[in-house]
Amino acid sequence: MKLKIKKGDEVVVIAGKNKGTRGRVLMVQPTSMRILVEGVNIRKKAVRPSPKYPNGGIIEMEGPIHYSNVQLADKYDSKPNRASVKASKPAAKKATKKAKAVESGNEE
């Protein structure tokens, strides 16, 4: 399934303990339908000393949240927007039904 939210998009969390939080998408996992949002779903993890973390200790990092719990954020307002695609198929379908009715003589 192709997700409409991409890396770098601004999103608003609409469900869960971080509801109302706005952040930037850091990573998208399309196979599990999860995304990583900056500053959302913070987890603590104990790490051993390593070249990346010379002192080790407890670090805070973002955890992934489900794709359905976020919406794209409006650039100028803090309200979430629905990412939808408007289809023109119903109008075309209605026109073909009317054309068939005229051909058969059952015009309304």
CATH number where 79 lies: 2.30.30.30
- In the three-class reduction of DSSP (H, G, I as helix; E, B as strand; rest coil), residue 28 is classed as strand
Give me 88's structure tokens.
């023109």
d(CA 91, CA 88): 6
pLDDT of residue 33: 92
pLDDT of residue 3: 81
pLDDT of residue 4: 87
pLDDT of residue 85: 43
d(CA 48, CA 7): 30
pLDDT of residue 91: 53
Confidence (pTM): 0.64
- Residue 31: inside a domain, yes or no? yes
pLDDT of residue 74: 75
Q: Are 14 and 82 in contact (CB under 8 A)?
A: no
pLDDT of residue 101: 61
Range of the domain at 38: 10-104
- In the three-class reduction of DSSP (H, G, I as helix; E, B as strand; rest coil), residue 89 is classed as helix
Q: pLDDT 10s per residue in the chain (108 long)? A: 678 899 999 999 999 999 999 999 999 999 999 999 999 999 999 999 999 999 999 999 999 999 999 999 876 665 666 654 444 555 555 556 666 666 666 655
- Residue 3: inside a domain, yes or no? no
How many structural domains is the chain composed of? 1
CA-based max dimension of the chain = 84
Q: Are 38 and 62 in contact (CB under 8 A)?
A: yes
